[in-house]
Amino acid sequence: MASPSVVDVVILHGGELSSDVATRIATEVSPLVGGSSHMHQISMSKSKQFKEALVEDTDGLAKPTTLAIFVAQTIENEAPPEEGGSCIRFFKRKTHPATLLSGKAQFAVLGLGDSNLLLDRQHTSAKDCNQVAKALDSRLEALGGARFCNRGEADERTGLTEVEPWIEMLVNKIKSC
């Protein structure tokens, strides 16, 4: 099924690294959706803001033409950074109905990890150090969310070289809607 046109974009980020990447994404995507009035960056630590925007719809953004991009960072012990914790914990709650995100914003997830933090650094890559993004991506879908594009996974050890191709894929998908 084709994705609806993207009118508004909400980028959620938690942590310094994810904030920098969110800014890079916003720079590329903003011109495609009519500029800054349709582009919103929200820290994952601001639970009231992201709930209002994506779940409760007090901002008028919880609609299929909104794309929510989660830039999810994994740090040691498969955990999000402190700034991203409240958002990740909110979506992990088992008490949410399976329809929490149905008919609301589409989502995309970009994971940022660091395989230097893993014991076996010789045989690891981005797919091994992005547990937070993997879990969030699965959970958003389980809550009825509509995936806009495939999850991206980047590794800080390799200079986050996977970020630019993912942003390019995202931009092309937005253009094609």
Residue length of the chain = 177
pLDDT tens, position by position, 79-89: 899 999 999 99
Burial (CB count <10 Å: 0-12, 13-18, 19+), residue 128 = middle
User: Regarding beta strands 39-43 and 8-13, do their DSSP bridges make them parallel or antiparallel, or are they unpaired?
Assistant: parallel
Angle at 27 between CA 102 and CA 16, to 5 degrees: 80
**C-alpha 10: how far from its chain's center?**
9
pLDDT tens, position by position, 55-109: 887 777 788 899 999 999 998 778 899 999 999 999 999 999 999 999 999 999 9
